[in-house]
Amino acid sequence: MSKPPLDLQIDDLVQTRKAHPCGGDTWRIVRLGADIGMRCETCGRKIMLPRAECERRIKRFVRRANDA
């Protein structure tokens, strides 16, 4: 049995297990699809990762986009 996919939404803020080389560990989800686009909130660099790799890197949600 595989885990269900994370319910990622555009503009979710997530914390990754490893920090970006810039020192930031908070990322904004900017693109959904087969590849997930994430933008580093500290330096603004954008990366694209396959969903499985993206989910492995995410430690927790910092803020959900649909929170009021």
Which residue ranges make up the site for Zn ion (CB under 5 A)?
20, 22, 24, 40, 42-43, 45
The minimum distance between CB 25 and Zn ion, in angstroms, equals: 9
3-state secondary structure 2-50: CCCCCCCCCCCEEEECCCCCCCCCEEEEEECCCEEEEEECCCCCEEEEE
Q: How far is the CB of 59 from Zn ion (least distance, A)?
A: 16
DSSP state of 54: H
Using the minimum distance from each CB to Zn ion, give the nearer residue, 5 or 43: 43
Q: How far is the CB of 62 from Zn ion (least distance, A)?
A: 15
